[in-house]
């Protein structure tokens, strides 16, 4: 029998959850509540019950899981109330506005013996999974550094995402995803240095973009960037290894990767570039490299919901683990701190 889900929040992400969960083998949305009493529910099945209050939803004994898809500042309160009511909980990201709030949720989950997780759906983006596959298969050799960015030119939406108190801004929006994913590309490595610069180009009270540099204890680096005033976008993924480079331009997965088949530092004939000569930057026209199309990776984010249901029944390990969430929120806290102080944050014991 499928686990019954009560959805809190019938906005953009709430509707997306309804759409995706229709394909789930293990969960089904059977109820929904939104604090806006004027919400139009005509687009969803009449079989999904519409609750008049959050309390009504939480007190319904037929509901197994509460799925929170509300503004960021409400996640902690709703999650703890749901756990107290005997429900398992899925929260939209960012899970909370800081690490202390996450610790309070995890403590409540432990106290009431219920499962809690966060919808880190961008782990299922194909461009990330392609990058991960190339590195795992050593197609580029040993990873040296990676750049991941998301850029657009539409600014921040005119809603709660512009409000600091509600957890708006790009670091808590896209930054949560970019940092979460990058940690999988540097397994068993700790961050020793972090520097973040948040942008306020649009004069909102929240950041409209950022640049983050992470340095790991292996001396390898990651560069993360989000911008909302970019009318020409840079590649989303640019990954450099010891014998190859991969580029993924966009979500449409345009790109390729190049690997070395000859000698890395083979003597080159100088070429004229601009007003000078260079050997270092001379093109490789000696058949010492080979270009390949990006590999295909199958992805299905519905696995996230099914995994949570199986976790509740003790039949699977959770995809999104508590220790990963704690590390992620600690890094987010450090990014805010670094930008505010305009300083590099050092972690002597690694993070």
Band (pLDDT 50/70/90 cuts) for residue 268 is confident
Residues 292-345: tens digit of each pLDDT: 999 999 999 999 999 999 999 999 999 999 999 999 999 999 999 999 999 999
Residues 279-287, mean pLDDT to the nearest whole number: 85
**Cα 302 to Cα 14, 38, 160, distances in angstroms:** 14, 30, 27
Percent of the chain with pLDDT over 90: 92
- Which residues in the chain are classed under CATH 3.30.360.10? 126-298+331-346
Task: Classify domain 3-119 by CATH number.
Answer: 3.40.50.720
Residues 273-302, mean pLDDT to the nearest whole number: 92
Separation between Cα atoms, residue 65 and residue 147, nearest integer Å = 37
Residues 161-195: tens digit of each pLDDT: 999 999 999 999 999 999 999 999 999 999 999 99
Separation between Cα atoms, residue 298 and residue 201, nearest integer Å = 38
Give alpha helix (H) positions in the chain. Answer: 12-21, 54-58, 75-84, 99-112, 126-136, 176-185, 302-312, 322-341
Q: Is the pLDDT of residue 264 over 90?
A: no
Band (pLDDT 50/70/90 cuts) for residue 275 is very high
Cβ atoms of 333 and 99 closer than 8 Å:
yes
Burial of 176 (0-12, 13-18, 19+ CB in 10 A): buried
Residues 262-277, mean pLDDT to the nearest whole number: 83
Cβ atoms of 248 and 147 closer than 8 Å:
no
At residue 124, what are phi and psi to the nearest 5 degrees?
A: -100, 5
Rounded to two decimals, what is the model's pTM?
0.95
Residues 241-262: tens digit of each pLDDT: 999 999 999 999 999 999 999 7
Residues 74-119: tens digit of each pLDDT: 999 999 999 999 999 999 999 999 999 999 999 999 999 999 999 9
Residues 135-156, mean pLDDT to the nearest whole number: 98
Band (pLDDT 50/70/90 cuts) for residue 265 is low
Q: Is the pLDDT of residue 284 over 90?
A: no
| Residue 279 or residue 226, greater confidence | 226
Band (pLDDT 50/70/90 cuts) for residue 40 is very high
Band (pLDDT 50/70/90 cuts) for residue 270 is confident
Task: Classify domain 126-298+331-346 by CATH number.
Answer: 3.30.360.10
**Cα 41 to Cα 7, 8, 61, 137, 182, distances in angstroms:** 13, 13, 23, 47, 38
- Which residues in the chain are classed under CATH 3.40.50.720? 3-119
């Amino acid at each position: 029998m499928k686990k019954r889900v009560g959805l809190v929040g019938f906005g953009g992400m709430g509707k997306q959850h309804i759409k995706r969960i229709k394909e789930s083998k293990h969960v089904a949305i059977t109820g929904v509540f939104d604090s806006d009493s004027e919400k139009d529910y005509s687009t969803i099945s009449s079989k999904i019950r519409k609750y008049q209050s959050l309390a009504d939803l939480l007190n319904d004994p037929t509901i197994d899981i509460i799925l929170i898809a509300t503004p960021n500042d409400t996640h902690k309160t709703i999650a703890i109330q749901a756990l107290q009511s005997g429900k398992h909980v899925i929260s939209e990201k960012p899970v909370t506005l800081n690490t202390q709030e996450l610790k309070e949720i995890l403590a409540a989950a432990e106290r009431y013996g219920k499962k809690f997780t966060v919808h880190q759906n961008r782990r299922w983006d194909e461009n990330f999974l392609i990058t991960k596959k190339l590195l795992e298969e050593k197609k580029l050799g040993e990873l040296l550094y990676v750049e991941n960015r998301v850029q657009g030119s539409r600014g921040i939406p005119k809603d709660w995402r512009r409000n600091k108190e509600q957890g708006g801004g790009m670091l808590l929006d896209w930054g949560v995803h970019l940092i979460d994913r990058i940690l999988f590309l540097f397994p068993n490595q700790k961050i020793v240095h972090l520097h973040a610069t948040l942008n306020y180009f649009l004069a909102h009270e929240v950041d409209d973009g950022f640049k983050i540099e992470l340095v790991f204890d292996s001396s390898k680096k990651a560069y993360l960037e989000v911008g909302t005033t970019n009318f020409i976008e840079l590649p989303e993924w640019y990954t450099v290894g010891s014998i190859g480079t991969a580029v993924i331009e966009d979500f449409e997965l345009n790109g390729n990767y190049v690997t070395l088949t000859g000698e890395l530092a083979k003597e080159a004939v100088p070429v004229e570039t601009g007003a000078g000569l260079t050997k270092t930057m001379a093109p490789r026209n000696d058949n010492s490299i080979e270009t390949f199309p990006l590999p295909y990776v199958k992805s299905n984010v519905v696995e996230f919901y099914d995994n949570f249901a199986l976790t509740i029944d003790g039949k699977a390990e959770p995809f999104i683990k508590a220790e990963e969430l704690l590390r992620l929120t600690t890094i987010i806290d450090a990014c805010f701190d670094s930008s505010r102080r305009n300083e590099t944050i050092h972690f002597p014991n690694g993070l």
